[in-house]
Amino acid sequence: MKVMILGADGYLGWPLSLRLMARGHEVIGVDNFATRKSVKEVGSDSAIPILSMENRVKAAKDIHGYNMKFYRGDITKYGVLHKIIKEEKPDTVVHFAEQRSAPYSMINAKHAAYTMSNNIIGTINLIYAIMDIDPKIHIVKMGTMGEFGTPNFDIPESPFVDVEINGRKDRITTPKFAGSWYHWTKVHDTNNILFANKAWKITTTDIMQGPVYGTRTKEITDKKLHSRFDFDEVWGTVVNRFTVESVLGIPLTAYGAGGQIRGYLSLEDSMEALRLLVENPPESGSYRSANQFVELLSINEIADIIQKAAKKHGIDIGVEHMENPRIEADRHYYNPEIKVLPALGFHPKLKMADLSEQLVKDVMPYKARMNKFRERILPHTNWRRVENAR
């Protein structure tokens, strides 16, 4: 299969490129390096050093014999994206190329507007380019579990639910209530994709994925193949942040009461889930929504797991419950359905508690490097502040 990966330089895009090449697929990567630039903008860097894309492609060839083609390009420029898809004619396009940080989208008006335009325009361009070139191309679009928010009802995997309002029945899109401008862009994308499917029968898999953690996949067998690993308050996700905090001796930054529950999965499990969705497309012309996570955990449970893992390495670390900089429930019901991936054979065995000791070990060699960005760890971006709003 020929697979184009938009956002191939990212935390997920690079290991997915390796996974798909390992499976014998032809991979074409596209990226404009926005994440590298935006992480620098907030005064941080990946904890684990990563090579330039040119050198990554070379390392993948030298170490595994993979041949990857790469285009530098911004997918919000329609002509750029159209030209690449027309030239390559992929069977599948995996779309990761969005601004993916919730805190970054909440910094101020400029960052909110950038997130809205980058994410929504990129997806609209992809829909139109595919309609023009070949509507049979399967779009694998990365959304997020955060589209749903934390409702007090079970979260269905289906994009539609049956409702009765004032005695009349109809089908509506599954209710969503996101918790940042970033998360809302994914809801808007989903609505746009649903409409494109209704209007033109584009074939799509819309993935609702929970937060990913970890450093390892089967193909990352050498330092030269590492994926990025962010840990600052804007770009780091919670498990990766707690790991780095423990190594740097910073009490784990649990926001609020720590009862926030999300559906977590390791980098390896994310790759396996994505491989299954790419290799098993839905029926041509249909829209498939897939929830993607492995275990439901609260912040307090994660803190406990990382504390225990750090202890195995002789590190005694506390937990600091700080004022929550975000607007979110920190005690709530959470019960998302997950059927599509298990039906395709997704049954991961290892849990965060099994993987955490190795995770701490993997970041320890970079302690001095991470320490340089120490002041970028405590949260500064606050959802309640509306800088530049007036």
Residues designated catalytic: 144, 182, 186
> Binding to ligand USQ (CB under 6 A): which residues in 221-240?
237-238
> From CA 74, how far away is CA 31, in angstroms rounded?
7
> Binding to ligand NAD (CB under 6 A): which residues in 132-151?
142, 144
Q: Pick one of 20, 107, 202, 212: the residue that binds ligand NAD (CB under 6 A).
A: 212
Candidates 90-98, 197-205, 217-225, 372-380: pick the segment binding ligand NAD (CB under 6 A).
Answer: 90-98
Cβ proximity of 305 and 242 under 8 Å: no
Note whether 9 binds ligand NAD by CB under 6 A: yes
Note whether 19 binds ligand USQ by CB under 6 A: no
Q: Pick one of 118, 144, 204, 270: the residue that binds ligand USQ (CB under 6 A).
A: 144
CB of 80 to ligand USQ, least distance (A): 23
User: x/- contact string, 22-51, with ligand USQ (CB under 6 A)?
Assistant: ------------------------------
Cross-strand partners of 162: 171
> Binding to ligand USQ (CB under 6 A): which residues in 298-317?
299
Q: Which CB sits closer to ligand USQ, 60 or 360? A: 360
Note whether 328 binds ligand USQ by CB under 6 A: yes
How many CB atoms neighbour CB 292 within 10 A?
26
CA distances from 27 to 59, 68, 158, 220, 283 (A): 15, 6, 30, 17, 23
Q: Which CB sits closer to ligand USQ, 84 or 187? A: 187
CB of 169 to ligand NAD, least distance (A): 33
Q: Pick one of 4, 47, 84, 98: the residue that binds ligand NAD (CB under 6 A).
A: 98
Q: Pick one of 35, 253, 300, 356: the residue that binds ligand NAD (CB under 6 A).
A: 35
> From CA 184, how far away is CA 367, in angstroms rounded?
35
Name which of ligand NAD, ligand USQ, none residue 96 binds, using a CB cut-off of 5 to 8 Å depending on partner kind: ligand NAD
> Binding to ligand USQ (CB under 6 A): which residues in 338-357?
none
Positions touching ligand NAD (CB under 6 A) are 7, 9-13, 31-35, 74-76, 96-98, 100, 118, 122, 142, 144, 209, 211-212, 228, 237
Positions touching ligand USQ (CB under 6 A) are 100-102, 144-146, 183, 210-211, 237-238, 241, 253-255, 260, 262, 299, 326, 328
